[in-house]
Structure 1
């Protein structure tokens, strides 16, 4: 039995890991223009820095559970921190965009293990009634990381250089390595179970092919035939996995999950709603810096109203859901989020600064409520025996949607830039992504009152 001091150290250790992973998903956004200038690239070709990280997370998250069972939480978590720390150093040293993208892939490989393995370590150390309070403690930094990332990134770039957004991970990672070695308990048992390598490859091929196809549209490096081939090959891999998993109960992610209708609607709603909204942390800083003349620091500060609104909105979302029900709330709020994205169509140099801050605040509030309601709906009715599969698929969909979203927005922006001036191209991109978000309201419209009887449940996954 560990002492209370050891328990607290473990919780802080996992919380730091959560913070590092989620912070790096957004901190680079305000630094993209500076990175592009130093690396001799256009700011509009820097989407791979974000896509490579998010896509690697999505691809490798399903592998984390098997690695933990095979090698133990302590070994895997220590390896994840070492990989994340060393790859952060490689990012800071990157002399070219290709080097930086490769380092971000390695960083994503380490980050893909931090959240699920850390969550499992807490589950094993704090069983029963102690688990939810412990999980709430370690996930709080994961909620804060994405909120402060753009502002912190802008401040670092303004007063130091973009390299330091990666270098700050080095001392945190070193402390994390020592703390893991000292505080995280070694597993008493190792489970040698078969890994569904074919299913893993089929899902990985689908995610990579579709993401590369989206990015190829924006980069214009491949013919339409090659792009069409990537889309079809990726979708064929997904269908092949579905046919195999339908007959195999030991598949990587069980299709039995979709027998729970609220989970099915929640997963699909999450995917398409996030494809619309997930591009905003990428588009907004780029828009402010390249079209409105903001400095990195100013664009980071401009994101603060979104962060404050996101924190405040989490206190009101569940009462609103209890009053209106999931179906009405998600249909209405999804449309409001889409309108919020499309409203940036009217943003220009001549707008009132206070109205612009209000616009950011309102969008941030509706966006935060959307995440919280979608997350809760998706997992609330899932059977306990399927919770591990369900959480893995949910985490994968969250990261995959971010990759798809940034790739889709980049493709639209590139297409519009070919025929319009920059400000107009951004306006049309915001309008299209907002319209895409609104269409996902139809998915939530498939809910009915019997399926969404309210339950007091915690939000099980981070934004």
Structure 2
């Protein structure tokens, strides 16, 4: 029978795969959905942004909710809420119905991601956490890649309704497995709920995430986008002031005192910002610039997901051999190089070569995600795990929104600089270079971690301790021998 160290990560990964895939699968199906419910694809983009808005608002409440009602219960309920939203999307007859259903999906997704990670760190011993996180990071890599081609395939050969209905059997299976195999762990002394903090943080994160998400997509006038970002920033500043005065903030930034968590959040934000733009830029370049169909471009970009899967069996060994700091620093630079290489793709570049580069790049990106997700909890105390998972989930959500915004802004800036009115393949190269450079800057923050960061998790600590014990034993032996020789010399002198 499969061990808990393998089964629980797969249960969490299945639910997160459903959420990650659903958030991108809709992109290629918008025209068909819009035609069916009698609206335009541009108007229906509100469905995407409303989902991101819901995520930003409800993620801060996930930590307290898990402590109060138990991570297993909240995780199962989150899957159920996501299923309800999925059914609502499939049955929608108007734009309003569809947007409301997407908001309900966002509520479920906001709880699934951080609480799923909390289930792992509370259920798996630290020694097995690297391997568990390696499997849990698969959905974040595969979902955005497989979503567009799957959405195009289902819409073309079946009906767009099945994009959402396929979540139902996956969801039921996830709930069953979670209730059977995940322990009902919850806090014995849940903290007081910070309602004012939730409102301030929710408005702040929603304004920033929503503003960044629509920036560059020509959905709203720039004045409204600027207002959203300003309101969001002001609200977050007010929240930071409020958080210093409360004992149980919904977003506990005091945890940034831990070097490993600080590096995972700041460095991870920059790394994900660059890498997060890839699923947005690459399909657009291949479809608009190279003339490929959504399904064809999706099959090419799927190479990065294959590379990610190939890394899973090696992540633990690599991190144990070289340590978190060395792996994360060097690998951030290597991953950024593979991201920058995408700027060299042209319409004449063989698809086989593109697929190979994406496959190898996916290997290194997946290794980095695994290391970031794992080392974040290396120093966090058990009582602080729920706060830490909430904080990392917020940073991850903002980084993805920012990555898409910067990618879109870079492409539009290139068009203006070149004096072009229509998008072409040549407009994407500078964007890849910009996001690759941003991603590479994360290496500096990873290098600031202690040399033995996460040693207990990586397994290097045991080796080091054994080595130190051997050295100590050798030193003690040498000291005893020297003392013995000194005693013998003294005795000889006395006898002489």
Q: TM-score, normalised by structure 2?
A: 0.75
> Relative to 1, partners in 2 of residues 1:454 and 1:90: Cα closer, same or farther, differing over 3 Å?
same
- Cα 1:276–1:181, aligned 2, differ >3 Å: closer, same or farther? closer
- Residues 221 and 157 (structure 1 numbering): CA distance in 2 closer, same or farther, change over 3 Å? closer
**Residue 206 of structure 1, CA deviation:** 1.8
Q: Which of these residues, 425, 428, 431, is aligned with residue 429 of structure 1?
A: 431
Q: 439, 442, 459: which one pairs with 1:440? A: 442
What is the CA-CA distance between 1:270 and the residue it aligns to?
A: 0.8
Counterpart Cα distance in 2 of 1:189 and 1:322 = 32
3-state SS of paired residue (2:346): coil
Deviations 1:31-68 (A, max 9, x none): 52342355269989887655543453343233134334
Q: Tell which structure's C-alpha radius of gyration is larger.
A: 2
Gaps in structure 2 of 5+ consecutive residues: 460-496
**Mean alpha-carbon deviation: is it higher for 64-73 or for 84-93?**
64-73
Q: Deviations over 1:389-430 (max 9, x none)?
A: 212211222223223322333344445456434222333322
Gaps (5+ residues) in structure 1? Answer: 459-463
Matches within 5 A, 1:341-380: 341-380=339-378
| Structure 1 position 282 matched with structure 2 position 277 | no
Instruction: Tell me by how many angstroms 1:15 deviates.
Output: 5.2
Query: Offset at 1:220?
Result: 4.2
1:20 to 1, 12, 15: 15
* Range with greater deviation from structure 2 (133-142 or 396-405): 133-142
The DSSP-based 3-state class of the residue aligned with 1:355 is helix
State how far apart, in whole Å, the 2-side matches of 1:335 and 1:435 are.
9
Q: Where does residue 86 of structure 1 map in the other structure?
A: 84
Distance 1:172 1:263, change over 3 A: closer
Counterparts in 2 of 1:79 and 1:316: CA distance versus 1, 3 Å:
closer
Taking structure 1 as reference, are residues 238 and 86 closer, same or farther at Cα in structure 2, changes over 3 Å only? same
Moved more, 356-365 or 339-348: 339-348
Deviations 1:338-397 (A, max 9, x none): 222222222222111221111111221121122122223322222333222212211222
Cα offset, 1:88, TM superposition: 0.8
Aligned to 2:493: none
Question: Match of 2:206, SS?
Answer: helix
1:208-247 correspondence to structure 2 within 5 Å: 208-220=206-218, 224-247=222-245
Deviations 1:177-226 (A, max 9, x none): 67788998989999775210111122212211112322443244655554
Q: Secondary structure of 1:249's match?
A: coil
CA contact (8 A) 1:73 1:117 kept: yes
Is the CA contact (8 Å cut-off) linking 2:57 and 2:203 kept in structure 1? no
User: Could you say if the C-alpha distance between residues 51 and 14 of structure 1 is closer, same or farther in structure 2, counting changes exceeding 3 Å?
Assistant: farther
The alignment partner of 1:24 has SS state of helix
| 1:251 equivalent in structure 2 | 249
Alpha-carbon distance in structure 2 between the residues aligned to 1:210 and 1:224: 14
Moved more, 19-28 or 317-326: 317-326
Other-structure match for 1:461:
none
Q: Which residue of 2 aligns with 1:39?
A: 34
- Once residues 48 and 405 of structure 1 are traced to their aligned partners in structure 2, the CA distance between those partners, rounded to angstroms, is 19
Cα distance change on mapping 1:438 and 1:104 into 2, 3 Å: same
RMSD of Structure 2 on Structure 1 (CA): 4.0
Q: Does 1:194 align with 2:192?
A: yes
Distance 2:445 2:9 in 1: 35
- Check conservation: 2:152, 2:294, Cα contact below 8 A: yes
Matched, 1:143 2:141: no
- How many Å apart are 1:95 and its aligned residue? 5.5
Residue of structure 2 in register with 1:305 after alignment? 303
Deviation per residue, 1:70-126 (Å, 9 max, x gap):
5566764554333211211232344566654443221121122335556667888x6
SS at 1:452's partner residue? coil
Q: In 1, Cα distance between the equivalents of 2:13 and 2:300? A: 25
Work out whether 1:56 is the aligned partner of 2:51.
no
1:452 paired to 2:453: yes
Counterpart of 2:262? Answer: 264
Contact 1:15-1:138 within 8 A present in 2 as well? no
- Within 5 Å, give how 1:98-113 maps onto structure 2: 100-113=98-111
2:167 to 147, 159, 169: 169
What is the aligned counterpart of 1:401 among 399, 402, 409? 399
Change (3 A) 1:39 1:439: same
Query: CA 1:27–1:373 in structure 2 vs 1: closer, same or farther (change >3 Å)?
Result: same
